[in-house]
Amino acid sequence: MANLLALFVIVAVGYWVMMIISRKKRELANKEFLQKEQFLKETQSLLKAETPSVVSPLKSQTFQPIAHGDFRQKVSTYFMEQGYSLTESPKAKGIDLIGVKEKELLLIRSENILKEVKKLDLQLFISECSVYIDHNPMLKSRSVIRIYATNRPITEEAQTFVRENPASLRLIEDI
Would you state the pLDDT for residue 47?
A: 62
Would you state the pLDDT for residue 46?
A: 62
Strands 85-88 and 97-101: antiparallel
For the chain, the residue count is 175
Strands (E), the chain: 85-88, 97-101, 104-111, 143-150, 170-172
Would you state the pLDDT for residue 17?
A: 94
pLDDT in tens, 89-138: 666 778 888 888 888 888 888 887 778 888 988 899 888 888 888 888 78
Mapped onto helix, strand or coil, the DSSP state of residue 74 is helix
Closest CA to 129 of 101, 148, 153: 148
d(CA 120, CA 94): 13
Mapped onto helix, strand or coil, the DSSP state of residue 154 is strand
pLDDT lower than 70: segments of the chain: 44-69, 89-91
What does R_g of the chain's alpha carbons equal in angstroms?
25
Would you state the pLDDT for residue 133?
A: 85
Would you state the pLDDT for residue 68?
A: 54
